[in-house]
Homo-oligomer: A and B are copies of this chain.
């Protein structure tokens, strides 16, 4: 008989499983922001991330953009190709190292940035509005701990 040999299995409760919860939340938030700019500016999420980094740190190389965005260097290369093609990013070659590119937002890139950045900020504001001041501090501290090396 097998009646006393049935294994327990112990399935995950996805709804309480932290990695799953983080994934759902992150996707929901990122997608709702992306909806605002993908249609309006023909801008993919990876492209926007590259632009946001170049807005904050000018004259980066492609590798540095990849490090800052934590994106794959191939993804960055392709996003940059589209952004340069669209005239949103200016690419030149590094003075002392002909392998490196030197990247910065163009006028047109800044114009888009200055429209998208407030939209993104507004989404963050709405999200944080669900939390009180103490919870926001807690969240920041917790994320710091979870993301530390």
**A residues bordering B, Cβ < 8 Å?**
7, 9-14, 17-30, 33, 49, 52-53, 55-56, 68-70, 110, 113-114, 117, 120-121, 123-124, 127-128, 130-131, 135, 138-139, 141-143, 145-148
Contact = CB atoms under 8 A, between A and B. Distances in A.
Contact of A141 (B23, B25, B135): B135
A145 B141 contact: no
A33 B21 CA distance: 14
State the oligomeric state as a number of copies. 2
Given A138-B142, A142-B135, A19 B11 contact: no
B141 A17 contact: no
Identify whether the interface residues of A are mostly helix, strand, loop, or mixed: helix
A120 B17 contact: yes
B143 A21 contact: yes
Contact of A18 (B10, B53, B114, B128): B128
A127 B146 contact: yes
Nearest to A15: B68
Nearest to A33: B19
Contacts of A33: 19
A56 B11 contact: yes
Contacts of A130: 145-146, 148
B147 A12 contact: no
Given A12-B55, A19-B30, 11 more contacts: A9-B110, A9-B113, A11-B55, A11-B113, A14-B69, A20-B49, A22-B25, A23-B30, A26-B27, A131-B146, A138-B138
